[in-house]
Amino acid sequence: MTTFAFPPRQLYYDGRIQPASSGKTFRTVDPSNNTPLAEIQVASPSDIDAAIAAADRAFPSWSQTPPIARARILQKAAALLRERNDEVARVETLDSGKAYTETSTVDVVTGADVLEYYANLVGGGGLNGETTQLREDAWVFTKKAPLGVCVGIGAWNYPIQIALWKSAPCLAAGNTMVYKPSEHTPLHAQTLAEIYREAGLPAGVFNVVYGAGDVGANLTTHPLVAKVSFTGQVSTGMKVAGSAAGNMKYVTMELGGKSPLIVLPDAELENAVNGAMMANFYSTGQVCTNGTRVFVPRSMKSDFEKALVDKMQYIRPGPLFDNATNFGPLSSAIHLEKVTAYIQHGIETDKATLLYGGLGKPSVPKELENGFWVRPTIFTDCTDSMRIVQEEIFGPVMSILYYDTVEEAVRRANTTELGLAAGVFTRDLNMAHRIIDQLQAGIMWINTWGESPAEMAVGGWKKSGVGVENGRRGIEAWVRNKSTLVDMNGQVATVFAKL
């Protein structure tokens, strides 16, 4: 008999836990040792209908709740998240395989930041419209109206953070949500729903269903759904966006990237190396914005590679709750297989120079040997045509590409169908701004990498996404405009008058 660390997860809608009617379940496991954590019930089509119906019933009241009242509830939820940071982070670590040093300082914290940001934004008049005087006796005013029932489909790499990035602006704007977490990392969803309920969120405003792609497809095509917000890989996102847009639904798509990190000749070497490591090995490389194409001046080749290899000793895989551990396993067995295949392709087919890492697992304690571990890997002397350079690996695999002129580096950096993020390391800020203006991506960093605060609107260009999340612009993705012209001159101008 299998022993689970957590009780089974059922669905959550209409303000309470509800059993699924499908009779189907799946297991979520601890990626560090491949042991089961919990059994998760899968939503049937009728369960999905019920969850969406609950959200639809809750919408009229919630959308008419004054923004300041909505803000107070969401602010309380943010406070509860902060109070329970360590408890929630512990579950995130077990479910995602990320080191506790990361989940306890980043995942819950940054999610709560976004919730607090949008609560404060709407509470302070952030949903107010505009008024324009056309002439002495005529005015135009606008209002921002919520959309209705919205669907959030989460990703497995930042479970609680992504759930909050979606639900915070959605609920703040007056919408209701049915949220489906990734089947690889589902444990956070019920916790978030219960925190929202404790904070005072009315029944039906935030609901949770579980399942794989078929459940997501049913949510996306449901006639009562007004919007779909999806985070995940490009191919799936294109299908979701096509399905939703074909039914005239609003969409926000945060998809993948193959982001360039450009080191300029005058860059401070240690900063550039630290930036490249954070852009490739943080979260075991499972970050959509990672700068996996590192462009380095040919003149810096020897110094850059030496400094990089010297610092690789500071990547420490190991027990996830050990304060020294800063590198966890990959999220699942299927993802380990995918990343390993890319590393093998880089060695055997692309013929890139393996500077560090490669096939096999890093050294970990015996009790972790069954986990989904992969060695942090660096390829150098890469070319733009290599598969490992062109495709998103979503693992700890860095490709170093050398260039001769800055113009060449910028041109090559843009030679991709993706455009999520990009960055520049240099001491010349004027040059940095000129390069940033030329790079075809929606998220930019200068002399840093990866920080994405609540105040910063982020979103991809090209096939990396549609719309933005966070920042003031982020709330606009969850409202629709209503414009009204008021004429107060007392007469209606008409061409249908007696001559």
Neighbouring-strand partners of residue 153: 180, 230
Q: Are 63 and 55 in contact (CB under 8 A)?
A: no
Are 95 and 213 in the same domain? Answer: yes
Residues taking part in catalysis: 254
Are 239 and 266 in the same domain? Answer: no
C-alpha to C-alpha distance for 151 and 227, rounded to whole angstroms: 6
Q: Between the CA of residue 186 and those of 115, 182, 209, 344, what are the distances in Å?
A: 20, 6, 10, 30
Spatial CB neighbours of 188, under 8 Å, sequence gap ≥ 6: 88, 91, 92, 95, 159, 160, 163, 181
Neighbouring-strand partners of residue 11: 18
Low-confidence ranges of the chain (pLDDT < 70): none
C-alpha to C-alpha distance for 89 and 75, rounded to whole angstroms: 20
Asked if residue 146 belongs to a domain, the reply is: yes
Asked if residue 181 belongs to a domain, the reply is: yes
Are 316 and 329 in the same domain? Answer: yes
Element (H, E) at 485: strand 479-487
Q: How many domains would you assign to the chain?
A: 2
Asked if residue 292 belongs to a domain, the reply is: yes
CATH code (residue 380): 3.40.309.10
C-alpha to C-alpha distance for 26 and 42, rounded to whole angstroms: 7
Are 205 and 294 in the same domain? Answer: no
Asked if residue 379 belongs to a domain, the reply is: yes
User: What pLDDT shows up at residue 249?
Assistant: 94
What angle separates helix 67-83 from helix 188-199, to the nearest 10 degrees? Answer: 130
Structure token pair of residue 216: 């997501």
Are 345 and 388 in the same domain? Answer: yes
Are 375 and 267 in the same domain? Answer: yes
C-alpha to C-alpha distance for 117 and 78, rounded to whole angstroms: 10
Q: Are 410 and 438 in contact (CB under 8 A)?
A: yes
Are 57 and 184 in the same domain? Answer: yes
CATH code (residue 100): 3.40.605.10
User: What pLDDT shows up at residue 223?
Assistant: 96
Asked if residue 101 belongs to a domain, the reply is: yes
What angle separates helix 159-172 from helix 67-83, to the nearest 10 degrees? Answer: 160
> Could you say which of 255, 277, 297 is where a domain stops?
255
User: What pLDDT shows up at residue 229?
Assistant: 97
User: What pLDDT shows up at residue 120?
Assistant: 98
Are 166 and 208 in the same domain? Answer: yes
C-alpha to C-alpha distance for 118 and 102, rounded to whole angstroms: 24
> Could you say which of 201, 230, 255 is where a domain stops?
255
pLDDT digits (tens, 9 = 90+) for 54-109: 999 999 999 999 999 999 999 999 999 999 999 999 999 999 999 999 999 999 99
Whether the CA torsion 341, 346, 348, 353 is positive or negative: it is negative
pLDDT digits (tens, 9 = 90+) for 167-189: 999 999 999 999 999 999 999 99
Asked if residue 77 belongs to a domain, the reply is: yes
- φ and ψ at 491, to 5 degrees? -135, 150
Asked if residue 471 belongs to a domain, the reply is: no
C-alpha to C-alpha distance for 169 and 181, rounded to whole angstroms: 17
Are 230 and 112 in the same domain? Answer: yes
User: What pLDDT shows up at residue 499?
Assistant: 86
Are 293 and 432 in the same domain? Answer: yes
> Could you say which of 255, 274, 295 is where a domain stops?
255
Residue 383 domain boundaries:
260-446
Are 274 and 241 in the same domain? Answer: no
Asked if residue 296 belongs to a domain, the reply is: yes
Are 84 and 195 in the same domain? Answer: yes
Report the Cα 410 to chain-centroid distance in Å.
Answer: 26
